């Protein structure tokens, strides 16, 4: 059950936050700044590329690597193909996963390997494949890990992953009984995404994939700090966009409808963290296709009117029916050609409530990503904490 009263009790939220999820979300701006320094010290700023690569391949374990690849591709805006290499294996364990380069990969391509752990043997084998084919390699992983060493052996660039003291303590087994559970949750947390994505953005700017110079990343970090203040646990629900969104999504099935490539990447990320952190299902879809893909769903058993009131029905200990709620994610205010109005009309016609979120007017693509990601990440964390038994 979702305890909405917990949202306006910062002390209770802090006690429920056993794995530092709120801290990870609040520290995103600081992580961006530290990751920028780590990338610069690793030599990203001194690279002299001959030109833009033919294709960029991204590999890594867990949801964070996939989200980083998705966002990088959206921010590149078609300037270069960005593809995520999905692993295969019998279990989602470090030693069981294997990655394989596409058959066309060669010297004109760039392989980016992003790992919060850095101990996956399959990623080391992937780097060996890339080296044999003459493919350039860059990795982001903790310093001194097997992945960083494999990158150095392949004459690639190894960028140290930005971590915090409590994550390092967790990795070292110094936090007591909750260590194993914390280690399982933190790699999916909000802060990890920015630790992986920021060095890739700095590198992408250097090779001409997108515009993300140091000043833009500084502005990104400042925006994340501002959003952490707006969405923090001390801010009341009525003026806190993340708490408001969390309260609206409680006990619903979120249908995340997005407009624009960047919003689509954020929507998929939102669905991922809702499942991974809050244990809640969500269905992302891009407009205008979402109007067709989810139209029947809005008229089915999950529609708001699918559970008619029956005065004589016994409701003792009967759980409340789960109904759909549409979440509209937009990169900017809708224009006359935007499908947002049709999406809103369809939802309201089916008696389905709608939550809307868009970036502030005049935001750059990086600032847009920061705003949409911060609000949705905080909302997922609040849903996870207020839904804790």
Q: What is the pLDDT of residues 38-78, one digit of tens each?
A: 999 999 999 888 889 999 999 999 889 999 999 999 999 99
Return d(Cα 126, Cα 129) in angstroms, integer: 5
Helix 190-206 vs helix 28-42: crossing angle, to nearest 10: 40
pLDDT of residue 169: 53
Return d(Cα 157, Cα 161) in angstroms, integer: 13
Return d(Cα 351, Cα 106) in angstroms, integer: 53
Return d(Cα 351, Cα 11) in angstroms, integer: 37
Instruction: Please provide residue 54's backbone torsions phi and psi, each rounded to the nearest 5 degrees.
Output: -65, -40
143 Cβ contact list (under 8 Å, min separation 6):
158, 160, 161
pLDDT of residue 199: 97
Read off the pLDDT band of 176 (50, 70, 90). very low
Percentage, residues of the chain above pLDDT 90: 74
pLDDT of residue 130: 97
Q: Model-level pTM?
A: 0.91
pLDDT of residue 180: 41
Residue 305: is its pLDDT beyond 70?
no
Sheet holding 354-358, edge to edge: 283-286, 252-259, 323-330, 354-358
Model pLDDT for residues 135-156, shown as the tens digit of each residue: 999 999 999 999 999 999 999 9
- Mean pLDDT taken over the chain: 89
pLDDT of residue 389: 52
Q: How many CA atoms lie within 13 A of 354 on its CB side?
A: 19
Return d(Cα 16, Cα 383) in angstroms, integer: 11
Read off the pLDDT band of 183 (50, 70, 90). very low
Read off the pLDDT band of 308 (50, 70, 90). low
pLDDT of residue 51: 84
Return d(Cα 274, Cα 380) in angstroms, integer: 5
Helix 365-386 vs helix 241-249: crossing angle, to nearest 10: 50
Model pLDDT for residues 320-334, shown as the tens digit of each residue: 678 899 999 999 888
Enumerate the β-bridge partners of residue 139.
113, 158
Residue 316: is its pLDDT beyond 70?
no
Query: Residues 163-174: what's their mean pLDDT?
Result: 57
Are 389 and 253 in contact, with CB atoms under 8 Å apart? no
User: Which of 34-43, 77-86, 175-184, 225-234 has the least mean pLDDT?
Assistant: 175-184
pLDDT of residue 336: 87
pLDDT of residue 1: 72
pLDDT of residue 185: 39
Read off the pLDDT band of 32 (50, 70, 90). very high
Query: Residues 351-378: what's their mean pLDDT?
Result: 95
- Higher pLDDT among residues 97 and 304, named by residue: 97
pLDDT of residue 215: 96
pLDDT of residue 205: 95
Model pLDDT for residues 201-258, shown as the tens digit of each residue: 999 999 999 999 999 999 999 999 999 999 999 999 999 999 999 999 998 999 999 9
């Amino acid at each position: 059950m979702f305890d909405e009263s917990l949202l306006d009790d910062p002390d209770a939220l802090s006690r429920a936050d056993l794995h530092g999820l709120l801290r990870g979300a609040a520290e995103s701006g600081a992580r961006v700044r530290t990751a920028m320094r780590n990338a610069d010290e690793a030599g990203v700023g001194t690279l002299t590329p001959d030109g833009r690569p033919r294709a960029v391949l991204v590999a890594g374990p867990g949801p964070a690597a996939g989200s980083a690849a998705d966002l990088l591709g959206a921010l590149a805006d078609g300037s270069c193909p960005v593809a995520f290499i999905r692993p295969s294996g019998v279990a989602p364990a470090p030693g069981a996963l294997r990655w394989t380069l596409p058959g066309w990969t060669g010297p004109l391509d760039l392989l980016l390997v992003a790992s919060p752990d850095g101990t996956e043997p399959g990623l080391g084998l992937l780097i060996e494949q890339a080296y044999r084919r003459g493919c350039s390699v860059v990795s982001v992983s903790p310093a001194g890990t097997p992945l960083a060493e494999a990158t150095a052996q392949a004459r690639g660039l190894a960028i140290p992953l930005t971590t915090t003291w409590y994550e390092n303590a967790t990795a070292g087994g110094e936090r007591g009984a909750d260590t194993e559970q914390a280690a399982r949750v933190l790699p999916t947390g909000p802060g990890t995404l920015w630790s992986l994505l920021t060095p890739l953005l700095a590198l992408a700017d250097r090779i001409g994939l997108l515009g993300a110079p140091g000043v833009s990343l500084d502005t990104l970090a400042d925006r994340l700090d501002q959003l952490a203040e707006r969405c923090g646990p001390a801010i009341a629900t009525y003026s806190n966009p993340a708490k408001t969104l969390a309260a609206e999504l409680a006990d619903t099935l979120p249908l995340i409808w997005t407009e624009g490539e960047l919003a689509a990447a954020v929507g998929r990320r939102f669905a991922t963290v809702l499942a991974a952190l809050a244990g809640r299902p969500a269905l992302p879809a891009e407009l205008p296709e979402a109007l067709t893909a989810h139209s029947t769903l809005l008229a089915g058993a999950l529609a708001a009117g699918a559970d008619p009131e029956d005065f004589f029905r016994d409701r003792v200990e009967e759980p409340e029916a789960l109904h759909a709620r549409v979440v509209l994610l937009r990169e900017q205010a809708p224009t006359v050609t935007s499908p947002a109005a049709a999406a809103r009309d369809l939802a309201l016609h089916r008696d389905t409530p709608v939550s809307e979120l868009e970036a502030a007017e005049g935001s750059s693509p990086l600032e847009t990503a920061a705003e949409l990601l911060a609000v949705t990440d905080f909302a997922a964390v609040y849903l996870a904490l207020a839904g804790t038994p």
